[in-house]
């Protein structure tokens, strides 16, 4: 027997329709590439998105077409997403931090037909365009006055282009299962893999993100997504904020401590989300200027393990709640958030910080398990670690074009490539990437735990741990350290600092000092390069 309820497809344009109807005056404030702060409302964004959809449709773009964006977080980028989706197309975010050859590879794989581009990235598009034969149109997100000279063909200035439409357009309803967004993962090995979001997965993900024990935000919040729209959908905030009617503050291309502080302060931001590196820059700025954060209530920190020192400073010095979160491009991206359940009521100080080091528990919509290499499920005891597998309505079922099929099993479990343990309350903690875990005498050592511990040393700026071959134990950990400016920490001091905080057999066998640790385009430590760099390294003794 079927239920007698209405069909109401979960499609993304309903989100912007809702925002424009229920929260028409709520602002989306952007720091523009040209300089000035630009203020729009959700009603404006919807109106302009309709024009974009109308123009794309009129110019022969079709449902399912991939339309790239190469842009910072801004109101313009947001309306481009809604316009593309509203025409029935697929917004395809490109990460400008990748090498141009990689971007061209990705665009060709996706067969992008048009691109929305910020002025900053025009030189990049000029380099790329000739190598992407599918590309028919370049829309430069600026006005006629700022339009650069270019030899590219089929280029228009966004504001001039928009003048050609009146917005009298009906969203193209392609159904909730149709693709609406795309993002390639930038793994440290192999070709990038395309994740193809559907309308339904984006809508469900946005609801999931807003829930009280997830991000817990609403229409009274002012949200600053520092995390870029071009990397894992700005953690869903581009859909979550209009869905809940939260004001948005978009940082454009400036993510240094001072620029972020300025927006937090002038726009009275209550909630923000970024990777640890951004928060380190902000905290450094606050420390050197003595400024405080009177408006900010909560920050989500993820993308990489959040060092304990960051959580401690935010919570103790600035009174800002930290939510440690974990996710992946393949998960739209949220997988878990570390907000407190009643079981933790009354915890404070170090006991609370210990929990906040964990990546947290899964919201409704994410199923999790940990297994050994033979797919046997492991207990949730907070100690036993294994391969972390997930499934849910906003988790990829395969990659675009079929690559990486070995990561998906017959029961829809996706092997995240992360290694984790889960405690009895469902709090998951990442201990490593499966390829980075150090296998010593048949047991696993978490490189992330060692790195987190080492960066707690006052003279250490950054640390990475890799396994190096060992005749008896097969692998042992080597700690690689970048010293803080003006400091020259000694190997024995660092090891003494770590001793007693971990079991003895986890202690690194040696410490190597380097000027710089290599990073991927998305800010993750490039362990493959480090392993090559230290390929000839021999442990003493």
Active site residue 439: yes
Closest CB to ligand AMP among 129 and 305?
305
With respect to ligand AMP, which residue has the nearer C-beta, 251 or 307? 307
Catalytic pick among 69, 185, 270, 339: 185
Q: How far apart are CA 474 and CA 57, in angstroms?
A: 60
Check whether the bond before 273 is cis (ω within 30° of 0): no
Q: Which of 291, 312, 321, 444 is catalytic?
A: 444
With 0-12 / 13-18 / 19 or more C-beta atoms within 10 angstroms meaning exposed / middle / buried, residue 72 is buried
User: How many Cβ atoms are within 10 Å of 43's Cβ, its own excluded?
Assistant: 16
Half-sphere exposure for 290 (CA within 13 Å, toward CB): 0
Q: Please name which of 63, 54, 68 lies closest in space to residue 89, comparing C-alpha atoms.
A: 63
State how far the alpha carbon of 119 is from the alpha carbons of 128, 148, 281, in Å. Answer: 15, 8, 25
The alpha-helical segments, DSSP class H, found in 142-218 are 158-162, 199-210
Strand (E) or helix (H) holding 22: helix 13-22
User: 464-467: long-range contacts (C-beta < 8 A, 24 or more apart)?
Assistant: 464/517, 464/525, 464/527, 464/530, 465/438, 465/508, 466/436, 466/438, 466/527, 466/530, 466/531, 466/534, 467/436, 467/437, 467/438, 467/439, 467/440
Q: How far is the CB of 338 from ligand AMP (least distance, A)?
A: 9
Contacts of residue 263, defined as CB under 8 A and 6 or more positions apart, other chains included, come to 31, 224, 249, 251, 269
Helix, strand, or coil (residue 16): helix
Spatial separation of the C-alpha atoms in residues 30 and 78, rounded to whole Å: 11
Name the minimum Å distance from CB 520 to ligand AMP.
Answer: 8
Give CA–CA dist 310/282, Å, rounded.
10
Least spacing, CB of residue 95 vs ligand AMP, in Å? 9
Hey, how many other C-beta atoms are within 10 angstroms of the C-beta on 255?
19
Contact positions vs ligand AMP (CB under 6 A): 185, 232, 302-305, 324-329, 333, 359, 416-418, 430, 433, 522
Complex with ligand AMP: residue 54 or 359, whichever CB lies closer: 359
Q: Which helix (H) or strand (E) holds 205?
A: helix 199-210
Smallest separation, CB 336 to ligand AMP (Å): 8
Residue 232 Cβ vs ligand AMP, minimum distance, rounded to whole Å: 5
Residue 482, token pair as written in the block: 């970048």
Quote the least distance from Cβ 329 to ligand AMP, whole Å.
Answer: 3
Nearer to ligand AMP, 232 or 246 (CB): 232
413 catalytic? Reply is: no
Q: Which residue is nearest to ligand AMP (CB)?
A: 329
Q: Which is nearer to ligand AMP, 333 or 363 (CB)?
A: 333
Q: Is 330 a catalytic residue?
A: yes
The residue (of 415 and 493) whose beta carbon lies closer to ligand AMP is: 415
528 is catalytic: no
Handedness of CA 272, 278, 280, 286 (dihedral sign): negative
**Residue 83 or 360 with smaller CB distance to ligand AMP:** 360
Our CB check for ligand AMP shows the closer of 253 and 303 to be 303
Residue 374: CB partners within 8 Å, gap ≥ 6?
A: none
- Point out the catalytic residue in the list 435, 439, 490, 501: 439
In angstroms, give the least distance from the CB of 289 to ligand AMP: 28
Distance CA 209, CA 224 (A): 15
Q: Smallest distance from the beta carbon of 446 to ligand AMP, in angstroms? A: 11
CB of residue 304 to ligand AMP, shortest distance in Å:
5
DSSP symbols for 499-528: BTTB-GGGS-SEEEE-S---B-TTS-B-HH
Distance between CA atoms of residues 334 and 145, nearest Å:
40
Q: What b/e sequence results for 128-154 when a residue is b if at least 16 CB atoms lie within 10 Å of its CB, and e otherwise?
A: bbeebeebbbbbbbbeeeebeeeeeee
Nearer to ligand AMP, 327 or 365 (CB): 327
Q: Which is nearer to ligand AMP, 326 or 413 (CB)?
A: 326
CB of 325 to ligand AMP, least distance (A): 6
Catalytic residue among 176, 330, 451, 462: 330
Q: In this structure, are residues 16 and 34 in contact, taking their beta carbons and an 8 Å threshold?
A: no
Catalytic (active-site) positions: 185, 330, 439, 444
């Amino acid at each position: 027997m079927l239920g007698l309820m209405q069909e109401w497809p979960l499609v993304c344009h309903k989100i912007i329709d809702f925002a424009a109807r229920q929260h028409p005056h709520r602002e989306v404030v952007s720091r523009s590439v040209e300089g000035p702060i630009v203020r729009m409302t959700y009603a404006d964004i919807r109106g302009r998105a309709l024009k974009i959809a109308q123009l794309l449709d009129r110019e022969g773009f079709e449902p399912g077409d991939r339309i790239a964006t190469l842009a910072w977080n801004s109101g313009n980028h947001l309306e481009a997403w809604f316009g593309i989706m509203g025409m029935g197309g697929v917004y395809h975010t490109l990460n400008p931090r990748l090498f141009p050859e990689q971007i061209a590879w990705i665009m060709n794989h996706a067969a992008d037909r048009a691109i929305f581009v910020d002025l900053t990235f025009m030189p990049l598009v000029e380099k790329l365009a000739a190598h992407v034969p599918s590309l028919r149109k370049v829309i430069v997100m600026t006005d006629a006055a700022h339009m650069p000279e270019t030899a590219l063909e089929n280029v228009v200035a966004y504001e001039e282009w928009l003048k050609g439409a009146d917005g009298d357009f009906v969203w193209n309803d392609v159904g909730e299962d149709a693709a609406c967004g795309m993002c390639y993962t930038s793994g440290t090995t192999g070709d990038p893999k395309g994740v193809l979001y559907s309308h339904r997965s984006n809508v469900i993900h946005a609801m999931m993100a807003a829930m009280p024990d997830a991000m817990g935000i609403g229409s009274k919040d002012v949200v600053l997504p520092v995390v870029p729209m071009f990397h894992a959908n700005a953690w869903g905030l581009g859909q979550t904020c209009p869905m809940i009617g939260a004001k948005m503050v978009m940082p454009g291309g400036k993510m240094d401590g001072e620029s972020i502080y300025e927006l937090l302060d002038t726009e009275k931001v209550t909630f923000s989300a970024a990777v640890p590196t951004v928060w380190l820059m902000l905290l450094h700025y606050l420390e050197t200027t003595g400024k405080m954060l009177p408006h900010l209530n909560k920050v989500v920190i993820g993308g990489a393990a959040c060092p304990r020192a960051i959580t401690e400073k935010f919570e103790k010095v600035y009174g800002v709640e930290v939510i440690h979160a974990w996710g992946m491009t393949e998960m739209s991206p949220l997988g878990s958030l570390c907000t407190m359940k009643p079981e933790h009521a009354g915890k404070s100080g170090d006991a609370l910080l210990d929990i906040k080091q964990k990546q947290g528990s899964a919201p409704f919509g994410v199923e999790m398990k940990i297994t050994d290499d033979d797919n046997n499920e492991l207990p949730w005891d907070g100690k036993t670690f294994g391969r972390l597998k997930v499934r849910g309505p906003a988790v990829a079922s395969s990659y675009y074009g079929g690559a990486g099929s070995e990561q998906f099993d017959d029961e829809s479990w996706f092997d995240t490539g992360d290694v984790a343990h889960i405690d009895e309350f469902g709090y998951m903690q990442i201990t490593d990437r499966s390829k980075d875990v150090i296998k010593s005498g048949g047991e696993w050592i978490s490189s992330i735990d060692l790195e987190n511990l080492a960066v707690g040393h006052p003279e250490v700026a950054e640390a990475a741990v890799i396994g190096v071959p060992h005749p008896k134990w097969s692998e042992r950990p080597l700690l690689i350290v970048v010293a803080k400016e003006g400091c020259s920490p000694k190997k024995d001091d660092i090891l003494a600092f770590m001793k007693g905080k971990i079991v003895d057999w986890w202690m690194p066998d040696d410490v190597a000092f380097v000027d710089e640790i290599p990073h991927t385009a998305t800010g993750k430590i490039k362990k493959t390069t480090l392993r090559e760099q230290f390929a000839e390294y021999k442990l003493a003794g």
